[in-house]
Structures are given as structure tokens and as C-alpha cells.
């Protein structure tokens, strides 16, 4: 089992390093998660309603801004009203709203990079997902944790402790991320 654990750590390091080498960023994944929560990638996105409310409603403003970014990246046709609005935002003509006090959904709860890596390692190297009751640090969560702390670029990942990684994995499991 120890040999499989070490292979799991190496695999996790390679996966994470590859993610960063390709220009990936954990915070960018969180932002994509926020965009998913707001539904900005949907063909049915109601940009007109959000445009009407964007000057006063942070979620409408944020949704519209993210929808424009999506259209630009996907090289899709952007309606003239949106083109003018995003240009006005960029030039400072339209107000830039700040998030309201309290918790705004960040997308972190949609970011399944770490839980998916735990599942992949558990399956590929036949490791338990969590530590046994004896506390031996030989689990897929431990392998991912060791990999995270060994990669300098991964400093941005807040899930750097075993317990946080375990809880994130358990939450993903409850959400049915690994079903099907």
C-alpha cells in the first residue's frame, strides 16, 4: 500500500503541475464556477433583464459582465446594447458595483478539481479515500495534500490540510459528483 501511496502522490503532483503549466489557476476555476452559478454560459441567459438592473443590482451587473466575457471568449456575436454597455463599464462611464456585504457565492463550492483528483487517485492506485481509524496517513486525501504542499504554484489552493480536503471530497460525494 505504501508503494501505491507514493505513486499516488507522484500522480497528483504531475496532475497539479500540468494544470499550472497549462496556465491554469485555482482562483480562475472558482471564477468559472461563479459564472456557472449565475448561468451566464446558457443560451437562454436573460441579458436584457440583467442590463436593465445592472446599475443597481450587483448580481445583475456581475452576471452581465461575465456573460460579455463569455461571448468574447467564445467569439460569439454580442448584441449592440451589450457591446455599448461593456465598453461603458470598461471606460468607467457605467458604475462598477462592488459585492454586497455578507457572503457572495464565489464558485469555490463548484470547483471540484481537488475532490476529482482524490477520486482519481483512490481508483487508480486502490487507496482508501480517507484515513483509517488508526490515523495512518495513507489515503488518497493524504496523497493530494502532500502534492499540493510540494508545488509552489499551488500556494493559492486554500485546501492545504488533510481535513479540508477530506471535507471537500465528502461534500462532492454528497452532491453526487462521482455518480454515473
C-beta separation of 5 from 138 below 8 A: yes
pLDDT of residue 105: 64
Distance CA 82, CA 44 (A): 15
Rg (CA), the chain: 20
More confident residue, 141 or 38: 141
Angstrom CA distances, 110 to 146, 148, 168, 171, stand at 23, 19, 10, 11
In this prediction, residues 28-47 reach a mean pLDDT of: 85
Q: Residue 140: name the closest of 160, 111, 169, 173 by CA.
A: 169
Report pLDDT digits (tens) over 115-159. 889 999 999 999 999 987 666 778 999 999 999 999 998 888 887
Amino acid at each position: 500500500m505504501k508503494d501505491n501511496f507514493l505513486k499516488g502522490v507522484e500522480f497528483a503532483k504531475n496532475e497539479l503541475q500540468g494544470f499550472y503549466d497549462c496556465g491554469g489557476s485555482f482562483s480562475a476555476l472558482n471564477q468559472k464556477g461563479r459564472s456557472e452559478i449565475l448561468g451566464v454560459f446558457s443560451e437562454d441567459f436573460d441579458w436584457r433583464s440583467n442590463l436593465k438592473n445592472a446599475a443597481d443590482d450587483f448580481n445583475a451587473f456581475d452576471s452581465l459582465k461575465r456573460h460579455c466575457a463569455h461571448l468574447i471568449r467564445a467569439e460569439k456575436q454580442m448584441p449592440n446594447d451589450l457591446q455599448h454597455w461593456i465598453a461603458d463599464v470598461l471606460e468607467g462611464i457605467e458604475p462598477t458595483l462592488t459585492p454586497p456585504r455578507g457572503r457572495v457565492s464565489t464558485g469555490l463550492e463548484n470547483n471540484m478539481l481537488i475532490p476529482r483528483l482524490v477520486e482519481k487517485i483512490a481508483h487508480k492506485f486502490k487507496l482508501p479515500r480517507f484515513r483509517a481509524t488508526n490515523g495512518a496517513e495513507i489515503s488518497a486525501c493524504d496523497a493530494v495534500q502532500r502534492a499540493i504542499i510540494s508545488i509552489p504554484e499551488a500556494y493559492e489552493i486554500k485546501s492545504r490540510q488533510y481535513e479540508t480536503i477530506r471535507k471537500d471530497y465528502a461534500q462532492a460525494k454528497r452532491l453526487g459528483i462521482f455518480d454515473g
